[in-house]
């Protein structure tokens, strides 16, 4: 597939499609495409540019040996000036030393005429006022702004200034000047833009550097990354590291087709050592100019933007000043405006890199609950970017002192894919950096220390992701409100107001359910991952909640008492932000699991229970005796459950199953939901060479024929990494090949019982050939030194928007750490995502009043079958007769997603999606409806929705389909390795002239004999 790297899709590439050799120093920008973003260019600049004309003390102040005209001719397009008011003009200085050209003359006699002669070029000016020896900027600033105004209204410069915008393009800038000032003017907006919070070193990003333009929309300001270490004090290594860190970021950073993600960067190579003298500047320039040349010329260098590179002593060989300027300019033509062929990810070993930009980053500034908190990743404000919620403790300075305190925070992702794109709000809704009172009036977010969640849903179907917290904190620190009579009520549902600016607790169940948190360490074990599940059990369009709760004890007035019943309950969603409790079973052990899944393949969500249970009586009146069992209770479609299967063989064992993880998904991709168990069960009969202490990993493969529940055992080579205290068990596609991988974190299988992180990747071979790779996630310091494995809960999500799942750890008692997925970096590969469904057809059975919709099977290009998400909404103006989501015109959506783009808003359980190519709706009122269906891959990448409209008429058998997909549209043909074979060909000719084999035609797997 092709991707053109211009404004709308400006992404870094690893292959050089062409190298421009036509440029010279006067016109090199004419080679750039008009729609390239300025922030994504590589632009050479000079530090204290005016010193090239000589100074009143060259031995102290000179940093350039070439005039401004000569600098322009060699290709310099960014200039650093230090203006100073002198009577009625602006001089140019380096510190207190005058340059032999004034700022006025530099602009009017050199830069202005150059742009007149070369209208395809543009200039960026960095200014910092040179305060006089016995004066200050404050004394001069009123006159300074007046002189600047006069200068840029002069005939030579009038009309040449550009207002700063984050998304300035080359076309916007041609023939123009962008003036960026580190000094704000008195009582006026910037002529171009203001720098804010200038930073000397690229390792502490809490300084929050920015460029601020005129007031307006969000694009009138930008995050700014700066490296400007001036004094190296005889040791160049630290500045070299800062310089390289910034180059690593800018050259490897992608905006993912979203200009909101643009970041501007200034990398100053200029510096002195010890004393500020010309010889010291020159010595350092010789070193750092070569460092730059070596960096962009390295054999393994993947070309990308350097940003603005400000250098000393350009234009001379003895300082590497010719090579450095040429290297920056040439770098543009390695990636800008090129068209590059991409291939699809092939299933390499997943690789993760600790993103240094997250350390001490803005927005990620609280301790996130120690080693028992799981951060929540979802698009809470609906802008298409994944946000971050976590609850725990903080240690920060306010009220004139450092304070520990319970805290929760929401970091809303505003772009950039790193903390500089986040706006963080605490539990009072106070934005990071703004004043916060010491009182604890939680009216925005809950504080639940050690909160766990694995189920997110749009509970009221308003399009926003709501929060459900399940907490088993043994310390009794879960707080919302901060203190309650019995220690705390730790199961909480919070309704999102729609844009993430307010979360409101519901009234009643399940918000008055308590959990055991008094001295029970067991809540740190993997069982808690499987205690909350979401599904619409009664088919009214509103998601219902299933939850395992545990009885807790307290002492009140000297009396021992229980404060909640225990076991599994389904909380039926009433559609008005209230829930009705339906008790299911007393499976009261600390490691009990309850999950939804369609196990008899009738289209309704059934219940899986595992662990010890008391006697269970189903809706059909049949009772099973107490025991350690895996139990399946099937749904009659109205939310009534009866026992259909139970087995002691597959139960979490009598040690309460603390070593067991359970997942429900279509593991073998046959359209039926299977059960994956790993860890310790009552049946440890498998001889497993990679296991330890009887640990096993096997699939209960669903063999149902659509009427009853049947399973067969399939042993896998996928083994649990943990014998106890496992912190993570995740199934998802981490290497982009379309197939499920397995990630675990916890105590490892090594003889020293060390903590470890382990990942198996499958390439579609679900039953064999799994290998656990140790050391996936390392706890590293800023400089990349390993300090051992993480020992915290870990969650996942595509936090930087590149289509690959990243990992996020609260890092115990430190700032959260993000491990960006870099499996595809430098490989010209993209993650596989199935295309939108084709051939959607709706039928209506008047006797059963059921609408059934079917579509074609969809695959990734590697052959991994898609799973599906749907929405249903009424599109006519009829008055509803009954109370249901569909009748009331509400979007009935299985998993929260953007209807227009298809982008998923939450990382829900795999059992929330449809495993097969059909769905149905019963008892719809007469009217016109629209159903949308999208394909979803195991990296949570999703296609757009394929919409189909139909009319339900209870007088007619069969649905009147209003819109159907065009099956005559051209298709692409791929081989089974994901390579494009044919493009935009007629479907009937797709396999013509191809050898025998299996191909993906459009999105169908086809065999040519």
Strands (E), 620-666: 623-624, 627-635, 641-647, 661-665
Question: For residue 114, what pLDDT is reported?
Answer: 98
Q: Which of 47, 530, 590, 719 is catalytic?
A: 47
Q: How many whole angstroms separate alpha carbon 818 and alpha carbon 796?
A: 9
CA distance 672 to 601: 7
Q: How far apart are the first and last CA of the chain?
A: 26
Instruction: Please write down the HEC assignment for all residues of 305-365.
Output: CCEEEEECCCCCHHHCHHHHHHHHHHHHCCCCCCEEECEECCCCCCCEEECHHHCCCCCCC
Three-state secondary structure call for residue 157 = coil
- 3-state SS class at 72: helix
Stretch (H or E) spanning 389: strand 387-398
pLDDT, tens digit, for every residue of 977-989? Answer: 666 778 778 877 8
- Helix, strand and coil in the chain, % to nearest 5: 15, 35, 55
- Averages of pLDDT over each 10 residues, the chain, 1009 residues: 31 32 80 94 98 97 98 98 95 96 98 97 97 79 92 96 96 98 81 90 64 86 91 94 90 82 94 94 97 93 94 97 96 76 83 66 48 77 88 61 67 69 74 60 61 73 87 45 42 84 80 50 44 89 84 48 66 92 74 85 93 88 90 94 89 52 87 83 42 61 90 73 56 92 65 57 54 54 52 78 86 67 85 95 88 95 94 80 60 93 94 95 90 97 94 66 51 72 80 78 68
**CA 908/CA 904 separation, integer angstroms:** 9
DSSP state of 758: E
Residues in the chain, total:
1009
Nearest to 135 by CA among 93, 61, 183, 85: 85
User: What's the pTM?
Assistant: 0.78
Helix (H, G, I), strand (E, B) or coil at 242: helix
Q: Is the peptide bond before 510 cis (omega within 30 degrees of 0)?
A: yes
Q: How far apart are CA 978 and CA 987, in angstroms?
A: 18
> What pLDDT does 451 receive?
53
Task: Please write the tens of the pLDDT for every residue from 886-911.
Answer: 656 678 999 999 999 999 999 999 99
Active site residue 47: yes
With contact defined as beta carbons under 8 Å apart, do 314 and 46 qualify? yes
Q: What is the pLDDT of residue 786?
A: 55
Tell me whether strands 42-46 and 78-81 are parallel, antiparallel or unpaired: parallel
Catalytic residue among 53, 66, 93, 94: 94
Across the strands, what pairs with 817?
Answer: 809
- Residue 530 is among the residues annotated as catalytic for this protein: no
Strand order in the sheet with 741-747: 728-732, 741-747, 755-760, 773-774
Q: How far apart are CA 58 and CA 66, in angstroms?
A: 13
Q: Helical H runs in 853-989?
A: none
**Beta-strand runs (E) in 798-857:** 806-809, 817-821, 829-830, 841-845, 850-854
pLDDT of residue 933: 98
pLDDT score for 947: 94
Q: Considering only CA atoms, which of 255, 260, 282 is closest in space to residue 271?
A: 282
What the chain holds in terms of domains, given with CATH numbers, is 2-341 (3.20.20.190), 841-965 (2.60.40.10), 967-1009 (no CATH)
């Amino acid at each position: 597939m092709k991707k053109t790297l211009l404004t709308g899709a400006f992404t870094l590439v690893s292959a050089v499609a062409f190298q421009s050799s036509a440029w010279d120093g006067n016109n090199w920008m004419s080679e750039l495409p008009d729609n390239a973003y300025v922030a994504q260019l590589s632009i050479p600049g000079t530090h204290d540019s005016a010193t090239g004309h000589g100074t009143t003390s060259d031995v102290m102040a000179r940093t350039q040996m070439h005039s401004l005209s000569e600098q322009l001719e060699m290709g310099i397009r960014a200039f650093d000036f230090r203006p100073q008011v002198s009577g009625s003009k602006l001089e140019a200085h380096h510190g207190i030393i005058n340059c032999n050209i004034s700022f006025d003359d530099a602009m009017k006699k050199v830069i202005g005429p150059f742009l007149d002669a070369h209208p395809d070029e543009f200039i960026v000016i960095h200014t910092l006022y040179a305060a006089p020896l016995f004066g200050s900027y404050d004394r001069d600033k009123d006159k300074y702004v007046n002189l600047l105004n006069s200068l840029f209204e002069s005939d030579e410069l009038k009309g040449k200034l550009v207002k700063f915008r984050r998304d300035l393009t080359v076309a916007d800038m041609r023939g123009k000047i962008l003036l960026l000032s580190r000094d704000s003017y008195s009582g006026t907006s910037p002529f171009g833009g203001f720098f804010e919070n200038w930073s000397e070193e690229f390792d502490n990003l809490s300084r929050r550097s920015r460029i601020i333009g005129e007031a307006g929309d969000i694009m009138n300001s930008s995050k700014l990354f700066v490296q400007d270490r001036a004094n190296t004090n005889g040791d160049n290594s630290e500045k070299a590291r800062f310089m390289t860190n910034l180059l690593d970021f800018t050259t490897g950073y992608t905006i993912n087709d979203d200009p909101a993600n643009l970041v501007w960067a200034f990398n100053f190579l200029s510096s002195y050592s010890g004393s500020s003298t010309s010889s010291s500047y020159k010595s350092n320039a010789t070193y750092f100019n070569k460092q730059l040349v070596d960096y962009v010329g390295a054999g393994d260098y993947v070309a990308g933007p350097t940003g603005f590179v400000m250098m000393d002593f350009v234009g001379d060989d003895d300082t590497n000043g010719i090579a450095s300027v040429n290297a920056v300019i040439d770098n543009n033509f390695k990636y800008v405006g090129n068209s590059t062929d991409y291939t699809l990810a092939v299933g390499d070993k997943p690789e993760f890199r600790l993103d240094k930009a997250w350390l001490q980053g803005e927005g990620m500034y609280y301790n996130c609950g120690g080693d028992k908190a799981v951060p929540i990743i979802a698009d809470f404000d609906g802008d298409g970017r994944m946000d971050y919620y976590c609850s725990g403790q903080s240690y920060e300075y306010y009220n004139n002192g450092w304070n520990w305190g319970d805290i929760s925070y929401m970091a809303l992702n505003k772009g950039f894919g790193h903390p500089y794109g986040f706006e963080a709000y605490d539990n009072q809704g106070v934005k990071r950096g703004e004043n916060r009172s010491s009182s604890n009036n939680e009216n925005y977010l809950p504080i639940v220390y050690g909160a766990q969640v694995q189920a997110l849903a749009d509970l009221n179907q308003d399009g926003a992701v709501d929060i459900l917290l399940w907490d088993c904190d043994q310390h009794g620190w879960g707080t919302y409100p901060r203190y309650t009579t019995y220690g705390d009520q730790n199961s909480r549902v919070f309704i999102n107001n729609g844009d993430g600016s307010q979360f409101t607790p519901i009234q009643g169940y399940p918000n008055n359910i308590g959990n055991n948190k008094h001295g029970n360490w067991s809540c740190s074990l993997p069982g808690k991952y499987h205690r909350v599940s979401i599904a619409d059990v009664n088919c009214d369009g509103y998601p219902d909640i299933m939850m395992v709760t545990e009885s807790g004890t307290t002492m009140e007035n000297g009396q021992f008492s229980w404060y909640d019943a225990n076991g599994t309950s389904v909380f039926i969603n009433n559609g008005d932000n209230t829930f009705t409790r339906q008790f299911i079973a007393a499976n009261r052990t600390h490691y009990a699991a309850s999950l939804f899944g369609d196990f008899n393949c009738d289209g309704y969500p059934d219940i899986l229970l595992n662990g010890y249970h008391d006697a269970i009586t189903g809706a059909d009146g049949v009772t099973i005796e107490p025991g350690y069992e895996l139990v399946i209770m099937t749904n009659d479609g109205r939310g009534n459950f009866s026992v259909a299967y139970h087995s002691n063989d597959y139960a979490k064992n009598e040690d309460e199953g603390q070593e067991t993880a359970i997942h429900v998904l279509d593991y073998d991709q046959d359209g039926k939901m299977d059960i994956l168990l790993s860890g310790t069960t009552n049946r440890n009969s498998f001889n497993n060479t990679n296991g330890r202490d009887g640990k096993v990993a096997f699939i209960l493969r669903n063999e149902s024929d659509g009427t009853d529940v049947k399973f067969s055992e399939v042993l896998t080579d996928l083994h649990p990494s943990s014998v106890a205290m496992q912190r993570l068990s995740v199934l998802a596609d981490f290497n982009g090949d379309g197939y499920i991988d397995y990630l675990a974190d916890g105590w490892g299988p090594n003889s020293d019982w060390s903590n470890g992180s382990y990942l198996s990747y499958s390439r579609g071979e679900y039953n064999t050939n799994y290998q656990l790779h140790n050391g996936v996630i390392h706890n590293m310091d800023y400089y990349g030194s390993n300090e051992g494995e993480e020992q915290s809960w870990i969650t996942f999500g595509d936090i930087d928007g590149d289509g690959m799942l990243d990992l996020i750890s609260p890092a115990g008692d430190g700032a959260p750490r993000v491990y960006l997925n870099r499996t595809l970096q430098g490989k010209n590969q993209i993650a596989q995502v199935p295309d939108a469904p084709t051939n959607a057809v709706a039928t209506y059975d008047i006797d059963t009043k059921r609408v059934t919709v079917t579509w074609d099977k969809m695959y990734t290009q590697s052959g991994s079958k898609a799973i599906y998400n749907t929405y249903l909404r009424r599109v006519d103006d009829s008055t509803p007769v009954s109370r249901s989501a569909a009748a009331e015109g509400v979007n009935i959506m299985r998993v929260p997603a953007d209807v227009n783009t298809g982008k998923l808003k939450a990382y829900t359980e795999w059992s929330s999606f449809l495993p097969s190519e059909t769905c149905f709706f019963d008892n719809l009122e007469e009217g016109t409806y629209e159903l949308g269906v999208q394909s979803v891959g195991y990296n949570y990448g999703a296609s757009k929705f394929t919409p189909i409209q139909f009319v339900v008429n209870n007088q007619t058998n069969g649905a009147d389909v209003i819109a159907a997909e065009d099956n005559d549209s051209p298709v692409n043909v791929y081989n089974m390795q994901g390579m494009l074979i044919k493009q935009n060909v007629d479907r009937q000719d797709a396999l013509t002239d191809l050898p025998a084999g299996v191909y993906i035609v459009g999105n169908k797997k086809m065999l040519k004999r």
